Amino acid sequence: DRNKADINHDQIHRIEHNWSKLSEPKIEIPPERFHLCKDLDLFGQASLFKILSITKTPLGVRTLAGWMMNPADPDQIQKRQQAVNRLTDQLQLREELQLLAKSVADSRTDPDHLLEWAKGSLWLEKRPGLRYFTRVSSCLMLGLLIGFFLPGAPRIFLGGASLGLLLVHFGLTAIFSGSIHGIFNSVGYRQRDVSNYFHLFLLSRKLPEDCELLESIRNQLSSGDHNAVICIKSLQRIIGIAQMRRNGLMFLVYLCVQFLFMIDFHTLSWLEKWHKQNAERVQHWLWSLAEWEALTSLSNLAFHHPEWTFPKIDQRLGTLTAFGLGHPLINGNDRVCNNVTVGPTQTILLVTGSNMSGKSTLLRSIGLNAILAQMGSAVCAGKMEMPSVQIETSMRIGDSVSDGISFFMAELKRLRQITVEAENLKQVPGKTLLFLLDEILQGTNSRERQIAVVRVCHHLLESQAIGAISTHDLELAEAPEISNRVQAVHFREFFETSTDGKNEMKFDYLMREGVSPTTNALKLLTMVGLDTPKPSE
């Protein structure tokens, strides 16, 4: 089966980090989450979304992306962890879900069409007089026909009355059939969208029953009162009657039933009754399916990384603590893990070190794992505990020439946004801002940069935020305003002699206590051939 083969190939590419082989749907990123998504590689070529997502339906994709950008509360995180843990070993169910969801995605079914129809107005309900008349006239026609065949009945009178009523029905059909059949055609098109989802809803009957979140999804889709499977079967029967006129063998039967009993009006009445009873449920069905897909993506990640762990999220904690923390986008064979502590409040983790030694990677490791944690996912660590946080970053600030904003001013504006957000969160119980700032304020001279960075740190410390800053400025840890509140760590380089006698710079990417004792900028200049020029003769 081609779909099954495609799914298996994608999984291999995901495990091996063959980013170019993995497609990614277009994700709409809210402006307030732009920096976070860009700085932490949430979406794009080599991204967390690519390694995480096996969602196929449009709403499944949206849901997983939304979870990445918007942290859940601790109670919801715990429920998701239970569901993910329960789904991890459900290999066959995961594959069946992907296959059916891929079929839906390939059919280009748009759930927005379903939601649009579910929110639409009702044609016959706006014409109550017509609805009641057709009901009465249909009953009257049935009575006339039954009476016509009774012994001793006045057949001339009954026949004339039946003929007159038949003409009335013919006239109403001629007047209103265009509008009614237009509704039937529109609903028939939407119903095909629903039918594409039907087998997905039916598959939910295989979900485990011993998990609260999965049981809720199962009840919505296939086992609770008024679940999607039962209701869609009912809708399919109604649409089948509405489409009877399209069947060549049944067309004559349709004409007889229509002129005698106004079947179109009754079918429309049944359809509108279904609409009133289930319109709000359609959205719940689709979002429940999307939630199931997102949970399945998290369970797939946990299955392929059994060494990862589920973190503890507790609002009472003031510190993010992780043992064996690694970068989830780096291949396991190349990944180097470290023990990391960020916090408590009134402290800053200051990360120093030489170029290319691992400072930025550490910050992204903290951010990406905090995002995974608050999605309900396993994280790339041996153990992790953290409070509920909102993550703000400043790592990849660029010039905005079209807006007339320099690199330095763009970075200042971003830092201002972070400090304001930290002040606002200070008033929110059980919520902490986690900031990750990488080599900030490089667009000015070193003396003013140090003063500016100290001021930024002071604002963040006073707002009860926690976070980490990477820097080349080794004197920053000794600034009097913050020196007693800095937890300094560093990465460093070492040199090995190659077989041809040249010194090669190496990195072990292991985090060490204290400020970096070395720098390597001048050594790097020499390595690329930009060493001290010889004096001219």
Name the residue type at position 270.
Answer: W
- β-pair type (432-438, 466-471): parallel
Round to whole Å and give the CA distance between 455 and 153.
102
The most confident of 183-192, 216-225, 322-331, by mean pLDDT = 322-331
**Helices assigned H by DSSP within 149-248:** 155-203, 212-218, 228-242
Q: What is the pLDDT of residue 522?
A: 52
Where does the pLDDT of residue 326 fall: very low under 50, low under 70, confident under 90, or very high at 90 and above?
Answer: very high
**233-265 as b/e: b if 16+ CB within 10 A:** ebbeebbebbbbbeeeeeeeebeebbbbbbbbb
Q: Concatenated DSSP letters for 391-451?
A: EEEES----BGGGTB-HHHHHHHHHHHHHHHHHHHTTSTT-EEEEEEES--TTS-HHHHHH
Averaged pLDDT, 245-255: 81
Place of tokens 């000794």: 478
Residue pair 103/196 in contact by the 8 Å Cβ criterion: yes
Averaged pLDDT, 423-436: 89
Chain mean pLDDT for the chain: 85
Residue pair 109/193 in contact by the 8 Å Cβ criterion: yes
Q: What is the pLDDT of residue 54?
A: 94
* Nearest to 302, CA basis, from 59, 97, 91: 91
How many CA atoms, within 13 angstroms, populate the side-chain half-sphere of residue 478?
5
C-alpha 243 chain-centroid distance: 37
Residue 342 has phi, psi (to 5 degrees) of -120, 120
Round to whole Å and give the CA distance between 430 and 347.
18
Strand order, beta sheet including 486-491: 389-394, 432-438, 466-471, 348-353, 486-491, 512-513
409 pLDDT more than 50 = yes
CB proximity list for 434: less than 8 A, separation 6 or greater: 320, 342, 366, 367, 370, 389, 390, 391, 392, 465, 466, 467
How far the first Cα of the chain sits from its last, in Å, is 75
Cα dihedral sign for 507, 508, 511, 512? negative
Q: Out of 183-187, 215-219, 252-256, pick the least confident.
A: 183-187
What does DSSP assign to residue 247?
A: S
Name the residue type at position 11.
Answer: Q
Q: How many CB atoms lie within 10 A of CB 216?
A: 16
Round to whole Å and give the CA distance between 159 and 165.
10
Residue pair 387/320 in contact by the 8 Å Cβ criterion: yes
Q: Give the C-alpha distances (Å, rounded to integers) separating 279 from 76, 118, 179, 182.
A: 27, 5, 21, 19
480 pLDDT more than 50 = yes
Round to whole Å and give the CA distance between 396 and 436.
11
pLDDT in tens, 78-114: 999 999 999 999 999 999 999 988 888 877 666 666 6
* Nearest to 300, CA basis, from 59, 50, 77, 65: 50
Cα dihedral sign for 238, 239, 240, 242? positive
Cα dihedral sign for 151, 154, 156, 159? negative
3-state secondary structure 436-475: EEECCCCCCCHHHHHHHHHHHHHHHHHCCCEEEEEECCCC
Q: Concatenated DSSP letters for 35-73?
A: HHHHHTT-SSSS-HHHHH----SHHHHHHHHHHHHSPPP
Tokens of 341: 């502590």
Q: Give the C-alpha distances (Å, rounded to integers) separating 36 from 349, 408, 527.
A: 19, 19, 34
Give the three-class secondary structure for 507.
strand
In DSSP terms, 309 is beta-bridged to: 379
Give the three-class secondary structure for 519.
coil
In the chain, % of residues over pLDDT 70: 89
Round to whole Å and give the CA distance between 218 and 261.
40
* Nearest to 37, CA basis, from 10, 68, 58, 61: 68
* pTM of this structure: 0.86
pLDDT in tens, 301-325: 999 999 999 999 998 888 999 999 9
Residue pair 527/356 in contact by the 8 Å Cβ criterion: no
Q: What is the pLDDT of residue 319?
A: 94
C-alpha 436 chain-centroid distance: 23
Q: Which of residues 327 and 280 earns the better pLDDT score?
A: 327
pLDDT in tens, 453-478: 888 888 898 888 999 998 877 777 77
pLDDT in tens, 266-298: 988 888 888 888 878 888 888 999 999 999 999
Q: Give the C-alpha distances (Å, rounded to integers) separating 520 from 58, 266, 363, 373, 493.
A: 48, 83, 20, 35, 8
